[in-house]
Amino acid sequence: MVLHVGILGGGGISETHARAAYETFGLRITAVAGQNAARVKALADRFGATALPDAEALVRHRPLDLVLVGSPSGLHAEQGIAAARQGLHVLTEKPIDVSTARADALIAECEKAGVRLGLFFQDRFAPAFVRLKAAIDEGALGRPLLASARVKWWRPPEYYSGSRWRGTTGLDGGGALINQGIHTVDLLLWLFGDVRRVFARAAASFHRIEVEDTLVATLEFANGALGTLEATTAAFPGYPRQVELTGSEGTVVLQQDRIVAADLRTPRPELVGEAANANPSAHSPTVSDVRGHRAALEDFVAAIREGRSPRCDGREGRRSLALVEALYRSAREQAPVVVSSQ
């Protein structure tokens, strides 16, 4: 049975969603909607879909079974709720929204409607990270001790000045942390476990935006491990994301979406050596390699067909946002903050 897909948003990430859907067996793109009429029409024409003016029109379009939300972050919950109320499954770009209150409303509405809700956190589908997650769960890293994560990326000034929503509190929810760094926040939570307390400092160090382009933080994990996190869009020319995880049995080093070192007391050679994808995330928002999004979408489609939760459902997607909220609160108050759990 073919599932009919609606693409919500006319920006670059919506093109990524459309390409992923086009390459996924059993899906047909039937409608595209967004505020930029010219870009929406071009995307709709490219994939043989109907161009629509807004989210309200899209969720009422038929045939339609699921919606891929790629609009500004501050609209994710509102538009996802509208889709759920029409009986449509919702797969949204990260973050789930810009506040946990809105995230909770979206989660509740999808549960009430009996539809699936998922997040595009494609790190969870990178083959190297899937193997690493299994190895950590098997105890290969031992007792977690220390995590270090650095997202030292570059975005030129026009990345913000040319957008109505990037770098704004209302529609972006923040800056480098919630937009660029949140994939790494999710990865830390997925691999190393929940964080119970944070202490952060943030600043607009280079870009003229109302939110941060640089944030540094210390993390206290629930399992007793400590960690540090850096996120910035002001590090010219941009460097690959790097994460180091140390446990009582050794250290694993991740760079972008591959493992470059696994120095463990009990060697696990299968963890190292897979080639990285082609996405130039460190210095560009363009997603040229859609394999990660396609894998997330394929899992979401399987979840619909099998009546199960997707690998990253709404509650999993909320975890990273709760940590981001705590980091922003800590930066505002210049004090340690306990991360809320729900």
* Residue ranges covered by each domain of the chain: 3-115, 124-283+319-338
Distance CA 230, CA 201 (A): 10
CATH class of 124-283+319-338: alpha beta
- 127-137 and 182-192 helices, crossing angle to 10°: 30
Helix, strand or coil, per DSSP, at residue 195: strand
Q: Are strands 117-120 and 89-93 parallel, antiparallel or unpaired?
A: parallel
Residue type, 117: L
d(CA 322, CA 319): 5
Site of tokens 């943030």: 202
The per-residue pLDDT for 278 is 64
Alpha-carbon distance of 113 to 85, in angstroms, equals: 6
How many other C-beta atoms lie within 10 A of the C-beta of residue 332? 11
- Return the sign of the alpha-carbon dihedral for residues 188, 168, 206, 197: negative
The CA distance from 311 to 185, in Å, is 17
Where helices occur in the chain by DSSP H, the ranges are 12-22, 37-46, 55-60, 76-84, 100-113, 127-137, 157-161, 169-172, 176, 182-192, 291-306, 314-333
Picking from 195, 151, 196, the residue whose alpha carbon sits closest to that of residue 177 is: 151
Q: Residues 132-156, buried b or exposed e (16+ Cβ, 10 A)?
A: beebbeeebbeebbebbbbbbbbbe
| Mean pLDDT of each 10-residue bin along the chain, 342 residues long | 96 96 98 96 97 98 98 98 98 98 98 98 96 97 98 98 95 98 98 98 98 98 98 98 98 95 95 72 83 97 98 98 98 96 70
Q: Rounded distance, CA 340 to CA 196, Å?
A: 8
Quick one: which of 84, 89, 51 has its CA closest to 68? Answer: 89
Max distance between CA atoms of the chain, in angstroms, equals 58
Question: Rounded to two decimals, what is the model's pTM?
Answer: 0.95
How many Å apart are CA 102 and CA 79, to the nearest integer? 11
Q: Specify the CATH class of 3-115 in words.
A: alpha beta
Give the three-state DSSP class for 318.
helix
Backbone Cα Rg of the chain: 19
